[in-house]
Amino acid sequence: MGVREPGLATLSHLRGRSALTPFRARRLHDSLIRELPGLSSITAEYRYFVALRDALSGEQEQLLARLLNARQDSSSAAPDNRFLVVPRPGTISPWSSKATDILHNCGLHAVDRVERGVEWHVSMNAGDHGALLTQAIVAPHIHDRMTQAVITEFDTVQALFDHAAARPMQSIDVITGGRAALVEANREMGLALSDDEITYLLEQFLALERNPNDIELMMFAQANSEHCRHKIFNCRWTIDGEDQTRTLFQMIRHTHSSHPGRVLSAYEDNAAVMSGSPATWFFPDAKSRRYQSVEEGVDILMKVETHNHPTAISPYPGAATGSGGEIRDEAATGRGARFKAGLTGFSVSNLRIPGFAQPWEQDHGRPGRIASALEIMLEGPIGAASFNNEFGRPALCGYFRTLELEVNGGGAEGEVRGYHKPIMVAGGVGAIRREQIAKNGFPEGTRIVVLGGPAMLIGLGGGAASSIASGEGEETLDFASVQRDNPEMQRRCQEVIDRCWQLGGDNPIQSLHDVGAGGLSNAVPELVDGAERGGNFDLRAIPSDDPGMSPMEIWCNEAQERYVLAIGAADVEAFAAICARERCPWAILGTASEARHLLVADAHADTRPVDLPMSLLLGNPPGMHRKVSRRPPPGDPLDFGRLDLDEALGRVLRLPGIADKTFLIAIGDRTVGGLSV
């Protein structure tokens, strides 16, 4: 069953079932046939690689095969046009973490780790394309280059279990290189810093008499990105030479300040809360663990946010993590809350469906690094629906619009406005207990905890990348900024948070935030700053599935399904018991400090990758001031004389904004969770 590999007791190979449904196989074949006219067929099977500490008994081998739905396989050669897609060597995939945990729970403790790959076989007509050319054409269609690799030599799968050496921290020499060094770092790292922000950072680090580390620059860029700080909405405007009295955000907030009504919390937490009505909760008693009815006022929380940039680059994971991030925002409201139902929406440019092009649709081109509107609408809704469904939240509502307009006269001298970079909206409603709406302050020594999955080299620089105008970034940086989803891990986190808020006054969570744009580098400072604290943290306490990551990558990656929480020292034991019951990973990263200073130490290198006053990071970095002039809209009066009513009616009914949109809200189970119809 197994073969000996250096450094491992045994590495076993098992062959699984088909990795493609007939529908997916046909769709992949149709997409490849344009580039591979000689393509005959393409098939895919799962392959499992099991690293064993000790040999398994015959009974254990049978159990392993049943659990993986696999059979023994001793083949190691790879014929022509046969190759293997595996997790990126040196990393541990989310599937591996879950599967290994399940095997251990089933008594297979001799299994050190199991990984899964997909073996692809491409059949070509005689004389068409060599193996290397075929692989080069097919590979982009069948793997995610951020998290996976393509190999042709099956005996190299041992690399899946190798541990790469950690990449070192980099320092940017502004002491001798001055502003030019920061400008170059801004370009290479995709930080999206403005000229004023570069000047600000140069002044701050020269005052500290030291060079900034790459981790500090990335952290500043994420925390102060348009995505996180809404600089355009908070900027000062001068229109036609007249200074405006309110920012855009102040205008938005004016409605609430003038007519607060039943709103209990708005613009100050991860979601808004309005007063609800008397209702009945149904959850287990903390001591007896028997379900009980609790009658009290149940308040309503609501949230809508966008996830545009990741959806433009990679629609399925972009939309999936958009929905996942919105769910986490609901859970991280106050001291913990519960989801109810979600919505998903998309605004894209014209679809230009092959064989169904509409008279008003023209090919205006698009940046090659972003998906087409059609690709976004074929993959994005499925990504969002899949996350909602797998997590256990019904996605009941949605919207869909297309727009491309020629403005300022159109033609060669005009402009075309539309949504090549889409709007991907994720939203939802939930429920929260009145006593849990406000986050608590917390004293020095409070434990700062990360809850959820491990750090992985995905989603690096997402906040800054989404702040760059589409088309200006580098393709590799764009793709690196897209997160990947793991709804099962997020559900574990939700169960932990639910158990905590259900304790009422004994809730061990004093405050919490979800980990989104900027990763821990944004969430941790935001958490301690909310309590007017600083913090001391251990970089190597962060759970990680990629030992080769640098300090910047560990601190700033946007691996999903994570929260940061403030837990009192006396409550850590009770919190740990809840996490153990829900099988949810967690770790203490450090403690809150009285001094408003952020310190991140790296024991491996005996360095301090982050050593900054909180004021530098979140104090008063340069604001934005925009000066604009109004332009009267040009155009000719609308001429109805040449309008054919039947044709016009047909066009209107074919417009996605008017046409049926059931496909958007009926992908997943609309009754999942049992509380909707």
In SS3 terms, 604-623 reads as CCCEEEEEEEHHHHHCCCCC
The string of pLDDT tens digits covering residues 353-406 is: 989 999 999 988 888 888 899 999 999 999 999 999 999 999 999 999 999 988
The answer to which of 131-135, 301-305, 546-550 has the lowest mean pLDDT is 131-135
The string of pLDDT tens digits covering residues 248-301 is: 989 999 988 899 999 999 998 999 999 999 999 999 988 888 999 999 999 999
Quick one: how far is CA 303 from the chain centroid?
Answer: 17
Contacts of residue 24, Cβ cutoff 8 Å, sequence gap at least 6: none
Sign of the Cα torsion 501, 505, 507, 509 reads positive
For β-strands 338-348 and 111-124, DSSP reports them as unpaired
The torsion angles phi and psi of 652, rounded to 5 degrees, stand at -60, -45
Which pLDDT score is estimated for 127?
A: 59
What's the rounded mean pLDDT across residues 22-41? Answer: 86
For β-strands 625-628 and 236-239, DSSP reports them as parallel
The answer to which of 190-199, 327-336, 473-482, 608-617 has the lowest mean pLDDT is 473-482
CA distance 197 to 208: 16
Higher confidence at residue 357 or residue 230?
A: 357
Residue 14 has pLDDT above 70, yes or no: yes
Q: How far is CA 399 from CA 310, 348, 419, in A?
A: 19, 11, 15
Residue 459 has pLDDT above 80, yes or no: no
The answer to which of 80-84, 435-439, 527-531, 659-663 has the lowest mean pLDDT is 80-84
Quick one: how far is CA 515 from the chain centroid?
Answer: 9
Q: Tell me which residue of 452, 529, 435, 514 sits closest to 488, measured CA to CA.
A: 452
Residue 425 has pLDDT above 80, yes or no: yes
CA distance 251 to 388: 33
Q: Where are the domains of the chain?
A: 2-161, 265-438+636-668
Q: How far is CA 569 from CA 154, 221, 336, 505, 529, in A?
A: 49, 32, 19, 16, 19
Which pLDDT score is estimated for 298?
A: 95
What's the rounded mean pLDDT across residues 151-164? Answer: 81
Which pLDDT score is estimated for 476?
A: 56
Residue 2 has pLDDT above 60, yes or no: no
Higher confidence at residue 604 or residue 477?
A: 604
The torsion angles phi and psi of 53, rounded to 5 degrees, stand at -75, -40
Q: Tell me which residue of 450, 448, 373, 445 sits closest to 404, measured CA to CA.
A: 373
Biggest CA pair distance of the chain: 84
The torsion angles phi and psi of 186, rounded to 5 degrees, stand at -60, -40
CA distance 508 to 510: 6
Please give the DSSP secondary-structure letter assigned to residue 171.
B
Which pLDDT score is estimated for 432?
A: 97
The answer to which of 227-236, 450-459, 495-504 has the lowest mean pLDDT is 227-236
Count of C-beta atoms within a 10 Å radius of residue 591 = 18
Q: Tell me which residue of 558, 565, 364 sits closest to 447, measured CA to CA.
A: 565
Edge-first strand order for the sheet with 625-628 is 242-243, 236-239, 625-628
Which pLDDT score is estimated for 305?
A: 94
The answer to which of 85-89, 442-446, 563-567 has the lowest mean pLDDT is 85-89
DSSP per residue, 543-572: -BS-TT--HHHHHH---SSEEEEEE-GGGH
What's the rounded mean pLDDT across residues 651-673? Answer: 93
Residue 66 has pLDDT above 50, yes or no: yes
Give the helix/strand (H/E) hosting 529.
helix 520-530
Six token digits for residue 289? 């663990």
467: confidence class by pLDDT, cuts 50, 70, 90: very low
CATH no., domain 265-438+636-668: 3.30.1330.10
Average pLDDT of every residue of the chain: 88
Which pLDDT score is estimated for 473?
A: 47
Which pLDDT score is estimated for 563?
A: 98
Judge if pTM exceeds 0.75: yes
Kindly calculate the radius of gyration of the chain based on its CA atoms and give it in whole angstroms.
Answer: 27
CA distance 193 to 29: 43
Residue 146 has pLDDT above 90, yes or no: no
Which pLDDT score is estimated for 481?
A: 54
Higher confidence at residue 5 or residue 151?
A: 151
Q: Tell me which residue of 222, 177, 182, 226 sits closest to 200, measured CA to CA.
A: 182
What's the rounded mean pLDDT across residues 603-622? Answer: 90
The torsion angles phi and psi of 571, rounded to 5 degrees, stand at -100, 0
DSSP per residue, 88-142: PTT---HHHHHHHHHHHHTT-TTEEEEEEEEEEEEEE-TTS--HHHHHHHHHHHH
Residue 464 has pLDDT above 90, yes or no: no
Q: How far is CA 192 from CA 82, 377, 502, 626, in A?
A: 42, 28, 42, 17
1: confidence class by pLDDT, cuts 50, 70, 90: very low
CA distance 307 to 174: 34
Which pLDDT score is estimated for 615?
A: 92
75: confidence class by pLDDT, cuts 50, 70, 90: low
CA distance 28 to 259: 54
CA distance 537 to 611: 10
For helices 131-142 and 22-32, what crossing angle results, to 10°?
Answer: 120
